[in-house]
Chain A
């Protein structure tokens, strides 16, 4: 009989820091706000609560697999990933760290959802002279913009 040391919810959450958004691999699922809760029962059964960002985001299934794999790598086998539909995900949940990482990755971070006209700074030259090309971009979460100063096209992580 193998006796394993039980990991706490906090330790399990730290292990999940290796799980990133497959489309934007600089942000962890905790930083985006996808990871909602981690709990562990007395007999070691782990439940991970996640929330979808956009209804059809295909990355969610990949992240579910990555969560199970990351915990299995730490010897945790009894894992259930539950999808939480409420409360509904919002870009307000992105951490400041996530927003800094987005800029470094060449994506303009979301402005406040309350902004009627979002302030979108060019992630390359920080100019505020930017214009929307299309409301829809390479993934559900982004729209296509261009900088009128340095002329670089870029993605804006839509505020929603």
Chain B
């Protein structure tokens, strides 16, 4: 594999993981002030801050490799819906607190496994970004898992709502573990993560948590995909319209 190809595919990998974090950060940002208690608004904002921080470090690295006009701002603010390669899960709407918790829980389980594996990447800079992100994902998961238990094994209403949330977002979890073809060389070289190999551990943690929370995993085997190739659900366009409005209306604005 040539150096140029490796660089290209590494940019793709970095931007893809950064896109997940950027889009979920925007969703969580929308939700701040909507949580049921003040401490949860703080938690949502803190988690969103961690996510955007990881995204910035990944975009920054990608931009250095990409060269030219590439910059973290341009990646986040000037790409169109079809150019974002985030997973469908993170663009799903907030709906209610139970949806925010369930979406976050599935994503946090995935990210703890992903960052643990990327901490051992042969790319030192990616390994460093991942090792720090792993520490953060660990307490994100501790928090979201605690809420899965509290809502699932709580009142009839909280149980009903979080089960509905699990039913709604479960179909977007499978995509996280579908290997991206372009990554195969990077995985072989120990730079990228073999995401498909993370699925059994994901299932184990999810099943144990759902059982303890008296929740059930949806039996419908259908799993939606497309995010990794830029084919998104209808929600992403609306999210980007709001997120990118300022930069597109006043190009290059500084203050």
Contacts and interface: CB of A to CB of B under 8 A. Distances in A.
Interface stretch (B136-144, B220-228, B232-240): B136-144
B124 A140 contact: no
Contact of A88 (B46, B47, B132): B132
B127 to A, nearest CB: 7
DSSP class of B's interface residues: helix, strand, loop or mixed? helix
Nearest to B133: A55
Contacts of B90: none
A133 B129 CA distance: 29
Contacts of B77: none
A160 interface: yes
A57 B57 CA distance: 11
Most chain A beta-carbon contacts within 10 A, residue among B39, B51, B52, B124: B39
A52 B52 CA distance: 14
Contact of B131 (A54, A86, A138, A144): A86
Contacts, number: 71
Contacts of A86: 124-125, 127-128, 131
Given A136-B39, A136-B42, A137-B42, A56 B53 contact: yes
Contact of A140 (B46, B128, B129): B46
A140 B49 CA distance: 8
Interface string A75-116: 000000000111111000000000000000000000000000
Interface string A118-160: 0000000000000001111110100010000000000000101
A11 B155 CA distance: 63
A135 B138 CA distance: 12
Given A55-B136, A136-B39, A136-B46, A85 B57 contact: yes
Interface residues of B, number: 27
Given A133-B39, A136-B42, A88 B135 contact: yes
Interface residues of A, number: 22
Interface string B36-51: 0001001101110111
A52 B43 contact: no
Contacts of A144: 39, 42
B54 interface: yes
B142 A52 contact: no
Contacts of A134: 39, 42-43
B39 A140 contact: no
A133 B46 CA distance: 15
Most chain B beta-carbon contacts within 10 A, residue among A57, A88, A160: A88
Contacts of B136: 54-55
A2 to B, nearest CB: 33
B113 interface: no
B56 interface: yes
B132 A89 contact: yes
Nearest to A135: B143
Most chain A beta-carbon contacts within 10 A, residue among B43, B49, B52, B143: B49
A88 B128 contact: yes
A140 B46 CA distance: 6
A113 B246 CA distance: 41
19 contacts: A54-B49, A54-B50, A55-B57, A55-B129, A56-B51, A56-B54, A56-B56, A86-B125, A88-B132, A134-B42, A135-B139, A135-B142, A136-B43, A136-B46, A136-B47, A136-B143, A140-B50, A144-B42, A158-B139
Given A56-B50, A84-B128, A136-B39, 8 more contacts: A58-B49, A86-B125, A86-B131, A87-B128, A89-B132, A135-B142, A140-B46, A144-B39
Interface of A: 52, 54-58, 84-89, 133-138, 140, 144, 158, 160
